[in-house]
Structure 1
Amino acid sequence: MSQTVVNQTANRVSFDQVEVGQKLPELIIDVTAEQIVAGAMASRDYQDVHHDKEKAQALGSPDIFMNILTTNGLVGRFVTDWSGPEGMLKKVNIKLGAPNYPGDSMRLVGKVTEKQQKDDQNLVEVSVIGKNSMGSHVTGTVLVALPLA
Protein backbone atom coordinates (compact mmCIF):
# COMPACT_ATOMS: atom_id res chain seq x y z
CA MET A 1 0.00 0.00 0.00
CA SER A 2 1.54 3.28 -1.09
CA GLN A 3 1.05 6.20 1.20
CA THR A 4 2.29 9.65 1.98
CA VAL A 5 2.29 10.89 5.55
CA VAL A 6 2.20 14.64 6.04
CA ASN A 7 3.25 16.15 9.39
CA GLN A 8 2.78 12.76 11.05
CA THR A 9 5.06 11.79 13.95
CA ALA A 10 5.11 8.97 16.46
CA ASN A 11 2.88 10.13 19.29
CA ARG A 12 1.68 9.36 22.74
CA VAL A 13 -1.20 11.71 23.35
CA SER A 14 -2.65 11.96 26.83
CA PHE A 15 -6.17 13.13 27.68
CA ASP A 16 -4.70 16.15 29.50
CA GLN A 17 -2.88 17.32 26.34
CA VAL A 18 -5.97 17.34 24.13
CA GLU A 19 -8.16 20.39 23.62
CA VAL A 20 -11.51 20.69 21.86
CA GLY A 21 -10.86 22.20 18.43
CA GLN A 22 -7.39 20.65 18.19
CA LYS A 23 -6.59 19.46 14.65
CA LEU A 24 -5.00 16.11 13.89
CA PRO A 25 -2.09 15.88 11.45
CA GLU A 26 -3.45 15.03 8.01
CA LEU A 27 -2.84 11.66 6.42
CA ILE A 28 -2.76 11.19 2.66
CA ILE A 29 -3.37 7.68 1.32
CA ASP A 30 -2.60 6.85 -2.30
CA VAL A 31 -5.38 4.46 -3.34
CA THR A 32 -4.23 1.43 -5.34
CA ALA A 33 -6.04 -1.52 -6.88
CA GLU A 34 -3.96 -3.86 -4.70
CA GLN A 35 -5.05 -2.03 -1.56
CA ILE A 36 -8.72 -2.14 -2.59
CA VAL A 37 -8.62 -5.88 -3.39
CA ALA A 38 -6.58 -6.75 -0.28
CA GLY A 39 -8.94 -4.79 1.98
CA ALA A 40 -12.01 -6.44 0.48
CA MET A 41 -10.55 -9.93 0.72
CA ALA A 42 -9.24 -9.40 4.27
CA SER A 43 -12.71 -8.31 5.37
CA ARG A 44 -14.35 -11.19 3.45
CA ASP A 45 -16.21 -8.84 1.15
CA TYR A 46 -16.33 -10.81 -2.09
CA GLN A 47 -18.54 -8.40 -4.03
CA ASP A 48 -17.19 -8.19 -7.61
CA VAL A 49 -17.10 -4.38 -7.54
CA HIS A 50 -14.16 -4.57 -5.12
CA HIS A 51 -11.94 -6.92 -7.15
CA ASP A 52 -13.15 -7.40 -10.73
CA LYS A 53 -12.82 -4.32 -12.95
CA GLU A 54 -14.86 -5.75 -15.85
CA LYS A 55 -17.77 -6.69 -13.59
CA ALA A 56 -17.61 -3.32 -11.83
CA GLN A 57 -17.72 -1.60 -15.23
CA ALA A 58 -20.67 -3.79 -16.30
CA LEU A 59 -22.53 -2.36 -13.29
CA GLY A 60 -21.71 1.22 -14.32
CA SER A 61 -18.60 1.93 -12.26
CA PRO A 62 -15.43 3.09 -14.06
CA ASP A 63 -13.28 0.74 -11.94
CA ILE A 64 -13.24 -1.30 -8.74
CA PHE A 65 -13.75 0.76 -5.59
CA MET A 66 -12.88 0.57 -1.90
CA ASN A 67 -15.29 -1.14 0.49
CA ILE A 68 -16.55 0.43 3.72
CA LEU A 69 -14.58 -1.95 5.95
CA THR A 70 -11.28 -0.87 4.40
CA THR A 71 -12.28 2.76 4.81
CA ASN A 72 -13.26 2.05 8.42
CA GLY A 73 -9.81 0.59 9.07
CA LEU A 74 -8.07 3.57 7.48
CA VAL A 75 -10.11 5.99 9.58
CA GLY A 76 -9.19 4.02 12.71
CA ARG A 77 -5.54 4.05 11.70
CA PHE A 78 -5.68 7.82 11.13
CA VAL A 79 -6.89 8.40 14.69
CA THR A 80 -4.52 5.90 16.35
CA ASP A 81 -1.54 7.30 14.40
CA TRP A 82 -2.36 10.56 16.19
CA SER A 83 -3.22 9.13 19.61
CA GLY A 84 -0.32 6.70 19.80
CA PRO A 85 -0.21 3.10 20.97
CA GLU A 86 -2.15 3.75 24.19
CA GLY A 87 -5.18 5.19 22.40
CA MET A 88 -8.03 2.69 22.27
CA LEU A 89 -10.79 3.01 19.71
CA LYS A 90 -14.20 2.76 21.34
CA LYS A 91 -16.52 3.64 18.48
CA VAL A 92 -16.14 4.43 14.79
CA ASN A 93 -19.21 5.91 13.11
CA ILE A 94 -18.71 6.67 9.42
CA LYS A 95 -20.72 7.38 6.29
CA LEU A 96 -19.43 6.89 2.74
CA GLY A 97 -19.77 9.38 -0.07
CA ALA A 98 -17.74 9.48 -3.30
CA PRO A 99 -16.02 6.15 -4.10
CA ASN A 100 -12.28 5.65 -3.70
CA TYR A 101 -10.95 4.43 -7.05
CA PRO A 102 -7.42 3.21 -7.87
CA GLY A 103 -5.06 6.00 -8.87
CA ASP A 104 -6.69 8.59 -6.63
CA SER A 105 -5.61 9.83 -3.20
CA MET A 106 -7.63 10.25 -0.02
CA ARG A 107 -6.72 13.09 2.33
CA LEU A 108 -7.86 12.46 5.91
CA VAL A 109 -8.27 15.40 8.29
CA GLY A 110 -9.80 15.56 11.72
CA LYS A 111 -10.32 17.62 14.82
CA VAL A 112 -11.28 17.04 18.42
CA THR A 113 -14.94 17.87 18.96
CA GLU A 114 -15.52 16.66 22.51
CA LYS A 115 -13.73 15.52 25.70
CA GLN A 116 -15.37 13.71 28.57
CA GLN A 117 -14.52 11.49 31.50
CA LYS A 118 -17.12 8.73 31.73
CA ASP A 119 -17.16 5.31 33.38
CA ASP A 120 -13.50 5.66 34.43
CA GLN A 121 -12.47 6.39 30.84
CA ASN A 122 -10.94 9.50 29.33
CA LEU A 123 -12.86 9.82 26.08
CA VAL A 124 -12.15 12.08 23.13
CA GLU A 125 -14.41 12.41 20.10
CA VAL A 126 -12.74 13.22 16.79
CA SER A 127 -14.62 14.31 13.68
CA VAL A 128 -13.03 12.91 10.52
CA ILE A 129 -13.33 13.77 6.84
CA GLY A 130 -11.59 11.89 4.03
CA LYS A 131 -11.68 13.54 0.61
CA ASN A 132 -10.56 12.38 -2.82
CA SER A 133 -10.66 14.15 -6.20
CA MET A 134 -14.44 13.73 -6.42
CA GLY A 135 -15.28 15.07 -2.96
CA SER A 136 -15.90 13.55 0.45
CA HIS A 137 -15.27 9.81 0.49
CA VAL A 138 -15.89 9.42 4.22
CA THR A 139 -17.27 11.55 7.04
CA GLY A 140 -17.86 10.59 10.62
CA THR A 141 -16.71 10.51 14.20
CA VAL A 142 -14.35 8.34 16.21
CA LEU A 143 -14.44 7.92 19.97
CA VAL A 144 -11.03 7.11 21.43
CA ALA A 145 -10.00 6.49 25.05
CA LEU A 146 -6.73 8.13 26.04
CA PRO A 147 -4.48 7.71 29.07
CA LEU A 148 -3.98 10.50 31.60
CA ALA A 149 -0.63 12.30 31.53
Structure 2
Amino acid sequence: MTATVSTGRSYDDIEIGEALPELAIPLTRTLIVATALATRDFQDVHHDPELARERGSKDVFMNILTSNGLVGRFVTDWSGPCAVVRRVKIRLGAPNYPGDTMTITGEVVGKSDGLVEVRVRGANSLGDHATGTVTIAFTDRPGGTR
Protein backbone atom coordinates (compact mmCIF):
# COMPACT_ATOMS: atom_id res chain seq x y z
CA MET A 1 0.00 0.00 0.00
CA THR A 2 1.41 3.37 -1.01
CA ALA A 3 0.31 6.63 0.54
CA THR A 4 0.19 9.76 -1.56
CA VAL A 5 1.20 13.07 -0.06
CA SER A 6 -0.54 16.18 -1.28
CA THR A 7 2.00 18.78 -2.29
CA GLY A 8 -0.57 21.56 -2.61
CA ARG A 9 0.21 24.28 -5.08
CA SER A 10 3.34 24.63 -7.14
CA TYR A 11 5.23 27.77 -8.08
CA ASP A 12 4.13 27.37 -11.71
CA ASP A 13 0.43 27.28 -10.70
CA ILE A 14 0.49 30.76 -9.22
CA GLU A 15 -0.49 33.91 -11.13
CA ILE A 16 0.18 37.53 -10.19
CA GLY A 17 -3.16 39.10 -9.29
CA GLU A 18 -4.57 35.83 -7.95
CA ALA A 19 -6.80 36.33 -4.90
CA LEU A 20 -6.48 33.98 -1.95
CA PRO A 21 -9.67 32.65 -0.36
CA GLU A 22 -10.56 34.74 2.67
CA LEU A 23 -10.20 33.36 6.17
CA ALA A 24 -12.50 34.51 9.00
CA ILE A 25 -11.07 34.01 12.49
CA PRO A 26 -13.40 34.44 15.49
CA LEU A 27 -11.50 36.45 18.12
CA THR A 28 -12.31 34.67 21.34
CA ARG A 29 -10.89 35.67 24.70
CA THR A 30 -9.38 32.17 24.91
CA LEU A 31 -7.59 32.60 21.56
CA ILE A 32 -6.15 35.98 22.57
CA VAL A 33 -5.00 34.92 26.04
CA ALA A 34 -3.76 31.44 25.08
CA THR A 35 -1.73 32.64 22.10
CA ALA A 36 -0.16 35.45 24.13
CA LEU A 37 0.93 32.91 26.73
CA ALA A 38 2.05 30.42 24.07
CA THR A 39 4.32 33.09 22.56
CA ARG A 40 5.63 33.92 26.05
CA ASP A 41 4.19 37.43 25.88
CA PHE A 42 3.18 38.00 29.48
CA GLN A 43 2.24 41.67 29.08
CA ASP A 44 -0.90 42.15 31.16
CA VAL A 45 -2.77 43.91 28.32
CA HIS A 46 -3.00 40.51 26.59
CA HIS A 47 -4.55 38.57 29.49
CA ASP A 48 -5.90 40.87 32.25
CA PRO A 49 -9.00 42.87 31.21
CA GLU A 50 -8.93 45.15 34.26
CA LEU A 51 -5.28 46.11 33.81
CA ALA A 52 -5.79 46.51 30.05
CA ARG A 53 -8.58 49.02 30.77
CA GLU A 54 -6.37 50.85 33.30
CA ARG A 55 -3.83 51.27 30.51
CA GLY A 56 -6.42 52.79 28.16
CA SER A 57 -7.65 49.78 26.20
CA LYS A 58 -11.28 48.67 26.18
CA ASP A 59 -10.24 45.03 26.81
CA VAL A 60 -7.37 42.60 26.32
CA PHE A 61 -6.07 42.53 22.75
CA MET A 62 -4.10 40.21 20.48
CA ASN A 63 -0.31 40.40 20.48
CA ILE A 64 1.80 40.91 17.34
CA LEU A 65 3.32 37.43 17.44
CA THR A 66 -0.13 35.90 17.15
CA SER A 67 -1.03 38.28 14.32
CA ASN A 68 2.19 37.28 12.50
CA GLY A 69 1.40 33.61 12.99
CA LEU A 70 -2.18 33.90 11.75
CA VAL A 71 -1.09 35.81 8.65
CA GLY A 72 1.58 33.18 7.95
CA ARG A 73 -0.97 30.39 8.44
CA PHE A 74 -3.35 32.11 6.03
CA VAL A 75 -0.75 32.08 3.26
CA THR A 76 0.59 28.56 3.93
CA ASP A 77 -2.92 27.08 4.12
CA TRP A 78 -3.38 28.40 0.56
CA SER A 79 0.05 27.50 -0.80
CA GLY A 80 0.40 24.03 0.72
CA PRO A 81 3.24 22.07 2.31
CA CYS A 82 5.83 22.76 -0.41
CA ALA A 83 5.95 26.45 0.51
CA VAL A 84 8.10 27.88 3.26
CA VAL A 85 7.57 31.34 4.76
CA ARG A 86 10.64 33.48 4.13
CA ARG A 87 9.34 36.79 5.46
CA VAL A 88 6.29 38.27 7.17
CA LYS A 89 6.25 42.04 7.04
CA ILE A 90 3.10 43.49 8.59
CA ARG A 91 2.02 46.70 10.23
CA LEU A 92 -0.58 46.65 12.99
CA GLY A 93 -3.52 49.02 13.11
CA ALA A 94 -6.84 48.50 14.89
CA PRO A 95 -6.61 46.11 17.87
CA ASN A 96 -8.14 42.64 17.77
CA TYR A 97 -10.52 42.50 20.74
CA PRO A 98 -12.49 39.49 22.02
CA GLY A 99 -15.93 39.07 20.48
CA ASP A 100 -14.95 40.39 17.05
CA THR A 101 -13.86 38.54 13.89
CA MET A 102 -10.71 39.15 11.88
CA THR A 103 -11.07 38.39 8.19
CA ILE A 104 -7.83 37.91 6.31
CA THR A 105 -7.66 38.48 2.55
CA GLY A 106 -4.72 38.34 0.19
CA GLU A 107 -3.51 38.79 -3.36
CA VAL A 108 -0.39 37.61 -5.17
CA VAL A 109 1.59 40.75 -6.03
CA GLY A 110 4.96 39.35 -7.06
CA LYS A 111 6.64 36.23 -8.36
CA SER A 112 10.29 35.64 -9.24
CA ASP A 113 13.08 33.11 -8.73
CA GLY A 114 10.89 30.64 -6.82
CA LEU A 115 9.57 33.33 -4.46
CA VAL A 116 5.97 34.53 -4.28
CA GLU A 117 4.92 37.73 -2.54
CA VAL A 118 1.38 37.97 -1.20
CA ARG A 119 -0.17 41.24 -0.01
CA VAL A 120 -2.34 40.54 3.04
CA ARG A 121 -4.97 42.42 4.97
CA GLY A 122 -6.53 41.33 8.25
CA ALA A 123 -9.55 43.47 9.12
CA ASN A 124 -12.05 43.54 11.98
CA SER A 125 -15.06 45.74 12.78
CA LEU A 126 -12.73 48.61 13.78
CA GLY A 127 -10.76 48.58 10.51
CA ASP A 128 -7.45 47.11 9.38
CA HIS A 129 -5.72 45.12 12.08
CA ALA A 130 -2.74 43.92 10.01
CA THR A 131 -1.56 44.94 6.56
CA GLY A 132 1.59 43.99 4.72
CA THR A 133 3.22 41.19 2.77
CA VAL A 134 4.24 37.57 3.17
CA THR A 135 7.00 36.11 1.01
CA ILE A 136 7.08 32.36 0.47
CA ALA A 137 9.56 30.09 -1.28
CA PHE A 138 8.53 26.89 -3.01
CA THR A 139 10.48 23.69 -2.44
CA ASP A 140 10.60 20.39 -4.33
CA ARG A 141 9.01 18.45 -1.48
CA PRO A 142 6.98 19.14 1.66
CA GLY A 143 9.18 20.66 4.36
CA GLY A 144 12.22 20.34 2.10
CA THR A 145 14.55 22.68 0.31
CA ARG A 146 14.56 23.73 -3.30
Q: For 2:30, what is the secondary structure of its paired residue? A: helix
Q: What is the letter of the counterpart of residue 130 of structure 1? A: G
Deviations along 1:78-109, whole A, 9 cap, x unmatched? 00000011110000001100000000000000
TM-score, structure 1 length as denominator?
0.88
Distance across 2 between alignment mates of 1:52 and 1:140 = 29
Aligned to 1:41: 37
Distance across 2 between alignment mates of 1:19 and 1:75 = 20
Superposition deviation, residue 147 in structure 1: 4.0
1:25 matched to 2:21: yes
Aligned to 1:114: 110
Cα separation, partners in 2 of 1:11 and 1:26, compared to 1, 3 Å? farther
**What do you get for the CA RMSD once the two structures are aligned?**
1.2
Distance across 2 between alignment mates of 1:11 and 1:101 = 35
Gaps of 5+ in 2: 1-5, 141-146
TM-score, structure 2 length as denominator?
0.90
Aligned to 1:96: 92
Q: For 1:12, what is the secondary structure of its paired residue? A: coil
Deviations along 1:109-132, whole A, 9 cap, x unmatched? 000000000xxxx10000000000
User: How many residues are matched?
Assistant: 135
The runs of at least 4 consecutive aligned structure 1 residues that moved more than 6 Å come to: none
Pairing of 1:4-83 with structure 2 (within 5 A): 12-83=8-79
In our comparison, the structure showing a higher alpha carbon Rg is: 2
Is the contact between residue 7 and residue 82 of structure 2 (CA under 8 Å) also seen in structure 1? no
